[in-house]
Amino acid sequence: MSKSRRDFLKWMVAAGTAAAVPRSASAHGHFTGYPDSYGILHDTTLCIGCRSCEAACNEVNGLPKPDKPFDDKSVLDKKRRTDATRYTVVNRYEPEGYFPSPVFRKSQCNHCLEPACASACFVGAFKKTPEGAVVYDASVCVGCRYCIIACPFNIPAYEYDEPLTPRVMKCTMCHPRLLEGKLPGCVEACPMEALTFGKRDDLIAIARERIRKYPDRYIDHIYGEQEMGGTSWLYITGAPFESIDMRTDLGITPAPEFTSGALAMVPMVIGIWPVLLGGIYAISKRKEIISRREKESAVENAVSETKADADTKAKAAAERFKKEKESAIDRAVKKALEDAAKENGKEGSE
Amino acid sequence: MSYVPETARKRPLLCPFNVITGIIILIGLYLAFKRFTGGLGAVSNLDDTNPWGFWIGFDLLTGVALAAGGYVTAAAVEIFGNKRYHAAIRPAILTGFLGYSLVVFALLFDVGRPWRLPYPFFVSQGVTSVMFEVGACVALYLTVLFLEFSPAALEWLGMKKLRRILVRLTMLLTVLGVVLSTLHQSSLGAMYLISPSKLHPLWYSPYLPVFFFISSIVAGLSMVLFEGWLSHRNFSDIMDESHRKGRDDLAFGFGKAASLVLAGYFAIKVFGIALGNNWALLFTGYGLWFLVEMIGFILLPCLLFAIGVRERKVKLIRITSIIAVLGIVLNRLNVSLIAFNWNLPADERYTPALGEIGITLFIVTVGLVVFRFIVTRMPIFYEHPEYDEAH
């Protein structure tokens, strides 16, 4: 084979796979994340609940300062969730029968590979970036809050006190910092290496290695590897996931698939309904026409029948009349003749 | 030109109706001021975990379902050929049109930046969203309803030519109305498909869009009966013969249809339980509540409608229409509020604030006032003598 011909074949194969891969990927498998996208691994067994991550997050995102300072541990006495003033919170859990207790877990946007919020947003304000972050664009947001309904992790928050320009607030995975080559604020601030930043694939390998090395320390599951189709944030822990408020019943189906079937029916309804309704209309119209025709012909029949009836009656009457008349004439003639005969007789006898 | 039947009685400006509505509207305006100066938090109990409350559950979901009378009646008469219910079309179209207008009006309070409501169509299209479809269909259907309603307004204004063009479009508009209603009535249910982890499994089902669509037919039929009853009590003086006489006939016809559709609805709801294999959940607290909806507000009205039609009891049909309407309200509130976030502890759940209910009352009241304004002026309950070709 000549070189140029081999090159051509190579090019053909490459083009063929390039054309075929995305199609087959979308038809059969889930989107497994952008290649080389980033993620963060949270190892709760290393977290000491110092809230340094919260402080750093507050700082780099320019969020309002909280009432209690970040080194105030009493904040941990109450379960908290993310809100418009904090993109991340650490909660303390004391799972029953589990040691070492307490367990601290950080929560923030998990940056799903196929985000529910992005699929639900009717202005496309959310985007999964190739770096792995799910980012939000307030400049098109209408403020309907369907993203918050859609999020299985209860993460996005809303500025309920903003009268005219409320935004949805959530962790950006420090996307602007990533583009500058910096670490997310929380990861940089963590003193215990409870947070590891890296390529998602590498993080999964690291997590697996830790679980393999310390089987007593960890539950054999990487939370976020499959949940809701996979998330860019990954978690490993020793305490049962449910006991640290991580739902294990979410399944592995990416959120967009829950609604894709219903959306797929839209064109079918648009195509079929007018035909069906047109058909029903035609049938009801035809029934109407038939019944009108039947009525008309019934009336016609009735009319002609009565007419015929009347005709025969009239004819009979006429006949009778004629007969009567004839007989009357006959009788009259007879009588006249008889009278004449009588007259004649009288005259003769006289 | 403007024409009102001679039988119409005078409606004084200072009647109890006007005084009460006046007070409600003033309260509503105050709440609106609070909403647009202090944000959603100032008037509502909405929070980050419960971003949708009474306004979405009642004003939007229930409102759209109860405004289904327009497409149901138009389809029954124009497409299915039940010409004898012709007199019911205009009131049904008017309530549909007002209903949808109020839904949009209510959304202006609920969404953060209401002036951006056209954004999904003109600025940034999020076509993967069920809500995009809902928005598109509601916007289009509102236009269709406006066109369907406009002949009455044009008769009032005396614009004969334009009216004639619109009357010719009746069939096209009716088909469009049914297509758009099928789509968005079902899509309101489909919106909740995105959150299987939050909605109780007895209410969550892949069939949700079908449930919403079929029950919207029940809602439409029952609302026409219920509204018809109310209208006869309040506006019989301006009704013409065909409206007054057709009332019982309509009750039997629509009652029969509602009974049938309710039976089908009950069946597919049972199939829904079977599909999810959720039988065991029936014996929990939520299961009991589900059975209340299933038996008390689907099966019961189904039977009562049937009995009412069979025994020719108009009064029973009327009462049943109220039960059926309440059933729809209950279902929509169940899906959006009561069974939503069911797995959260009580202190993280939502109950509507007085401010939210106040705004809803305000919106409903505005609707009543506009309805009253229109029916006492435009040929809704009577035929305009200058347009004797049936409308």
Q: What is the mean pLDDT of residues B363-369?
A: 95
DSSP A112: B
Kindly report the nearest CA distance between residue B271 and chain A, in angstroms.
18
pLDDT at residue B391, as a whole number: 45
The arithmetic mean of pLDDT across residues A91-111, rounded, is 94
Give me the residues of B, 149-208, that contact A with CB < 8 A: 171, 175, 178-179, 182-183, 186-187, 190-198, 206
Task: Please give the Cα distance from A45 to A112 (Å, whole number).
Answer: 23
The DSSP 8-state label assigned to residue A127 in this structure reads: E
Contacts of A119 in chain B (CB under 8 A): 128-129, 194
CA distances from B28 to B21, B42, B87, B104, B355 (A): 10, 14, 34, 16, 9
Nearest chain B CA: its distance from A286 CA (Å): 10
pLDDT at B80: 93
- What pLDDT does residue B389 have? 54
CB contact under 8 A, A273 and B79: no
Contact B133, B121 (CB under 8 A): no
What are the chain B neighbours of A128 within 8 Å (beta carbons)?
none
Q: Which residues contact A323 (CB under 8 A, 6 or more apart)?
A: none
Q: Reduce the DSSP state of residue A136 to 3 states and report it.
A: strand
Return d(Cα A196, Cα A42) in angstroms, integer: 7
Average pLDDT, integer, range A303-319: 89
- The answer to whether B124 contacts A123, with C-beta atoms less than 8 Å apart, is yes
The residues, ordered by sequence, that sit 6+ positions from B179 with a Cβ below 8 Å of its Cβ are A269, A270, A273, A274, A277
Does the beta-carbon distance from B120 to A142 stay under 8 Å? yes
Is there a contact between A242 and A219 (Cβ–Cβ < 8 Å)? no
pLDDT value at position A323? 87
Place A104 in a pLDDT band, splitting at 50, 70 and 90: very high
Average of per-residue pLDDT across A59-83: 94
Using the predicted structure, report yes or no on whether residue A28 has a pLDDT greater than 60.
no
Average pLDDT over residues A273-302: 93
Q: Helix B241-276 vs helix B300-310: angle between axes, to the nearest 10 degrees? A: 140
Query: What's the first-to-final CA gap in chain B, in angstroms?
Result: 16
Q: Which chain A residues contact residue B79 at CB under 8 A?
A: 277, 280-281, 284
Whether the Cβ atoms of residue B56 and residue B45 lie closer than 8 Å to each other: no
Both tokens of residue A302? 């009735």
Contact between B319 and B222 (Cβ < 8 Å): no
What percent of chain A is modeled with pLDDT above 90?
74
**What is the distance in angstroms between the Cα of B193 and the nearest Cα belonging to chain A?**
6
Least Cα separation, residue B78 to chain A (angstroms): 8
Q: What is the mean pLDDT of residues A42-55?
A: 96
Average pLDDT over residues B240-259: 89
* CA–CA gap between residue A2 and residue B368 (Å, rounded): 84
A190 near B76, Cβ under 8 Å? no
- Cβ contacts of residue A199 below 8 Å, gap of 6+? A36, A37, A38, A39
Q: Which chain B residues are Cβ-neighbours of A270 within 8 angstroms?
A: 179, 183
Query: Is-contact B364 B54, C-beta < 8 A?
Result: no
Q: Are A121 and B129 a contacting pair at CB < 8 A?
A: yes
**Which three-class secondary structure string do you get for chain B?**
CCCCCCCCCCCCCCCHHHHHHHHHHHHHHHHHHHHHHHCHHHCCCCCCCCCCCHHHHHHHHHHHHHCCHHHHHHHHHHHCCCHHHHHHHHHHHHHHHHHHHHHHHHHHHHCCCHHHCCHHHHCCCCCCCHHHHHHHHHHHHHHHHHHHHHHHHHHHHCCHHHHHHHHHCHHHHHHHHHHHHHHHHHHHHHHHHHCCCCECCCCCCCCHHHHHHHHHHHHHHHHHHHHHHHHHHHHHHHCCHHHHHHHHHHHHHHHHHHHHHHHHHHHHHHHHHHHHCCHHHHHCHHHHHHHHHHHHHHHHHHHHHHHHHHCCCHHHHHHHHHHHHHHHHHHHHHHHHHCECCCCCHHHCCCCCHHHHHHHHHHHHHHHHHHHHHHCCCCCCCCCCCCCCCC
pLDDT of A14 above 80 = no
> Is the CB of A161 less than 8 angstroms away from the CB of B123?
no
Residues B228, B247: Cα–Cα separation, whole Å = 8
How many CB pairs below 8 A link A and B?
175
Average pLDDT, integer, range B157-174: 92
Q: Which long-range contacts (CB under 8 A, 24 or more apart) does A86-89 make?
A: A86/A54, A86/A57, A86/A58, A87/A57, A87/A61, A87/A63, A87/A169, A87/A170, A87/A171, A87/A172, A88/A53, A88/A54, A88/A57, A88/A171, A88/A186, A89/A54
User: In which element (H, E) is residue A106 found?
Assistant: strand A103-107
pLDDT tops 50 at residue A294: yes
Percentage of residues in chain B with pLDDT exceeding 90? 85
Q: What is the rounded distance in angstroms from the CA atom of residue A54 to the CA atom of residue A185?
A: 9
Residue-level pLDDT at B2: 64
Choose, out of B197, B204, B275, B356, the residue to mutate when testing the contact with A (most A CBs < 10 Å). Answer: B197
Considering CB atoms only, which of A140, A145, A277 is closest to B119? Answer: A140
pLDDT number for residue A346:
67
Contact B81 A259 (CB under 8 A): no
Kindly report, residue by residue over B95-110, the tens digit of the pLDDT.
Answer: 999 999 999 999 999 9
Q: How far is CA B390 from CA A283, B88, B144, B245, in A?
A: 22, 13, 20, 16
DSSP state for residue A88 in the 8-state scheme: -
SS3 assignment, position A94: coil
Residues B295-307 have pLDDT tens digits of: 999 999 999 999 9
Which chain A residue's Cα is nearest to B42? Answer: A161
Is the pLDDT score of A103 beyond 70?
yes
- Nearest beta carbon to residue B116 from set A81, A82, A142: A142
Mean pLDDT of B315-338: 97
Q: Is the predicted pLDDT of residue A26 greater than 50, yes or no? A: no
Q: Do A273 and B182 touch (CB under 8 A)?
A: yes
Across the range A253-262, mean pLDDT stands at 95
Q: How far apart are CA B124 and CA A346, in angstroms?
A: 131
A126 Cα to chain B: minimum distance (Å)? 9
User: Is residue B247 very low, low, confident or very high in pLDDT (cuts 50, 70, 90)?
Assistant: confident
Rounded to 5 degrees, what are φ and ψ at A35? -60, 140
Q: Which residues pair with A190 in a beta bridge?
A: none
Cα distance from B50 to chain A (closest Cα, Å)? 8
CA distance A97 to B391: 76
CB A255 within 8 A of CB B53: no
Question: Within the 104-133 window of chain B, which residues sit less than 8 Å (CB to CB) from chain A?
Answer: 110-114, 116-117, 119-120, 123-126, 128-133
The 3-state DSSP class for residue A195 equals strand
| B3-51 per-position pLDDT tens digit | 777 777 777 777 888 899 999 999 999 999 999 999 999 999 999 999 9
Contacts of B175 in chain A (CB under 8 A): 273-274, 277-278
Of A122, A162, A277, nearest to B131 by CB-CB distance is: A122
Cβ <8 Å between A163 and B46? no
Mean pLDDT score, A232-248: 96
Spatial CA neighbour of B138 closest among B41, B48, B206, B70: B70
CB contact under 8 A, A263 and B195: no
How confident is the model over A75-93, as a mean pLDDT?
96
User: Quick check: B130 and A120 CB within 8 A?
Assistant: yes
The per-residue pLDDT for A349 is 55
**pLDDT beyond 60 at A25:** no
A272 band by pLDDT with thresholds 50, 70 and 90: very high
Computed over every residue of chain A, the mean pLDDT equals 90
For residue A29, name the pLDDT band (cuts at 50, 70, 90): low
| Local confidence band at A213 (pLDDT 50, 70, 90 cut-offs) | very high
Q: Is the ipTM of this complex over 0.90?
A: yes
Interface test with chain B among A87, A155, A277, by most B beta carbons within 10 Å: A277
Residue A5 has pLDDT above 70, yes or no: no
**Residues in A touching B47 (Cβ below 8 Å):** 160
Mean pLDDT of chain B: 94
pLDDT tens track for B176-204: 999 999 999 999 999 999 999 999 999 99
- B292 contacts: CB under 8 Å, gap ≥ 6: none
Q: Which H helix or E strand runs over A320?
A: helix A256-349
How far B84 CA sits from the closest chain A CA (Å)?
Answer: 13
SS3 of residue A298 by DSSP:
helix
Instruction: Indicate yes or no: CB of B195 within 8 angstroms of CB of A150.
Output: yes
